[in-house]
Amino acid sequence: MEKITVLWGPSCGSARRACQWLDEHHLDYDRVNVVSQAISLQTLKKVLSLTEYGAEEIISERSKAYKKFGQKYIDSLTISELHRLLVRYPSLIKKPIIFTHNKLQVGFNEDEIRSFIPRETRRVSFAEMLRVLHDA
């Protein structure tokens, strides 16, 4: 099974719901509290490599820090500079960020998070659901 990592913050309801969903589906994952434990440069690079549009996908536009700096400034940063900014202002990071080596979900969406269930488990669950519908 793929290693799942959840970047979260304790005051984020969406992050708590995502972790609860993963627990309910018996999926093993690592939780990284990016508020109390700085995001590593390696983790930032991994997450950015999984995005389609780069940093704008993981930056919280609702944070006070975003309003202070703005997208233009953030877009001008190198990865190392962005990393230093996120370490200093963890509120800039959208939460939760859920990822594996090849999958990324930013925010909690109950339909999309199902992609983290191993394919074979999803296949078996779908077959069972079809059997129940057929027998009804």
Which 3 state secondary structure label does DSSP give 9? Answer: coil
What global pTM score does this model have?
0.85
Q: What is the mean pLDDT of the chain?
A: 91
**What is the fold of 4-135?**
Glutaredoxin (3.40.30)
Write out the catalytic residue numbers.
12
Q: Is 84 left (phi over 0), alpha (psi -120 to 50) or beta?
A: alpha
In the chain, the largest separation of any two C-alpha atoms, in whole Å, equals: 59
pLDDT digit string, tens, across residues 39-81: 999 999 999 999 999 999 999 999 999 999 999 999 999 999 9
Q: Quote the tokens at residue 9.
A: 């913050």
Q: Are 108 and 97 in contact (CB under 8 A)?
A: no
